[in-house]
Structure 1
Amino acid sequence: MNNQHTLHLRRIYGERGTNGTISYQGEQICHTIELPWRNNMQRMSCIPTGRYKLVKRTYTKHGEQIGIPNVLGREAILIHAANDAQRELLGCIAPVTELTGEGTGSESRKALGELKALVYGLWDMGGEVYLVIK
C-alpha cells in the first residue's frame, strides 16, 4: 500500500500576488493565494517551487495548522486562512474558495477546512503528505 500522497499546487505569478490551485489525484481541492515571487526573501516572497513534506504543527496564535518545514532559507511556513496576501501573509500559503484578484480571494476559512479535512484524513491513515509546487 502506498503511503505517500501528493498534492499539486499550480501557480500563476502576478505583480501583486501569486495565485494557484491545489489538486489531489487530479481533483481540484481549492485555490490558493500567496505573496508575489521576490527571490525567496523572508516574509516578502512566496516560497520556491519544489516538493515539500507537510507536517502537523501547533502554534499559540493559529492553533493546529499544516506546516511546511524545510523550505530553503525560511521557517514557520504554514498553510493558513487569509483573504489578502499583501495584508495577511508573510510567505505562507492561504487556501481560498474563490480567487478575486492577484493575491486576493474569498472564503479562506471554508477552503482551509476542506484542505485540512483531506490532509488530516490522509495523516490519520498513517500516510505521508507532500506538496509539489510547480
Structure 2
Amino acid sequence: MVLFLTRTYFPDGTNGILVCDGTLVCYTIELPWQENQQRVSCIPEGNYFIVKRYSAKYRWHLEVVGVPNRRYILFHPANCALRELQGCIAPVTTLSGPGCGQQSVKAFQQLKQLTYPAIERGESVTLTIH
C-alpha cells in the first residue's frame, strides 16, 4: 500500500492531502519546513515506511520510519501544528488555515482503518511525500 502526501508550505505550517489509490484519505497538518530540525520542522520529502506503534500517550498509532536524522515521527491527532506537534504528522478532516485543521481524531480513525489491516496482513505500507 502506498500513501501519497502532497504538501503546500506556509511560514506558519504545512498542509497536505493524503491519497491512496487515487482516493482522498484525509488532509494533514505539519510544522513548517525548517531544514529538518528536530521538534520544529516537518520531515523532508521522500519515501518512508509506516509501522504500527504503541505508546502510553497515544495508544496505538502509526510511526514513519527511516527519516534522516529523526526518530519517533508519528501520525497522531492534533488540530494545530504549532501548539501540538513536534515534527509529527496530524491527519485532519478539514483544513482551517496553515498548519491548522479540524476533527483530527475522526481523520486519524479513518487512516487507521485503512492502514492497520494491511500492516496486520504483513503488507508494507509506504508514505511518499512530495
Q: Which moved more, 1:91-100 or 1:67-76?
A: 67-76
SS at match of 2:3: strand
- 5+ residue gaps in structure 1? none
Runs of 4+ in structure 1 deviating by more than 3 angstroms, as ranges, are none
Which of these residues, 49, 53, 59, is aligned with residue 55 of structure 2? 59
- What's 1:12 paired with? 8
Cα deviations across residues 74-123 of structure 1 (Å, max 9, x unaligned)?
11110000000000000000000000000000000000000010000211
2:109 to 100, 110, 113: 113
Could you tell me which runs of 5 or more consecutive residues in structure 2 were left unpaired when the two chains were aligned. Answer: none
Deviations, residues 7-59 of structure 1 (Å, cap 9, x unaligned): 00000000100000100000000000000000000000000000000011111
Give the structure-1-normalised TM-score. 0.95
What SS does the corresponding residue of 1:54 show, helix, strand or coil? strand
Separation (CA, whole Å) in 2 of partners of 1:55 and 1:113: 15
Which residue does the alignment assign to 1:133?
A: 129
Cα distance in 2 for residues equivalent to 1:50 and 1:70: 10
The answer as to 2:88 corresponding to 1:92 is: yes
Does 1:39 pair with 2:28?
no
Instruction: Give the length in aligned residue pairs.
Output: 130
Cα RMSD of the aligned pairs, angstroms, is 0.7
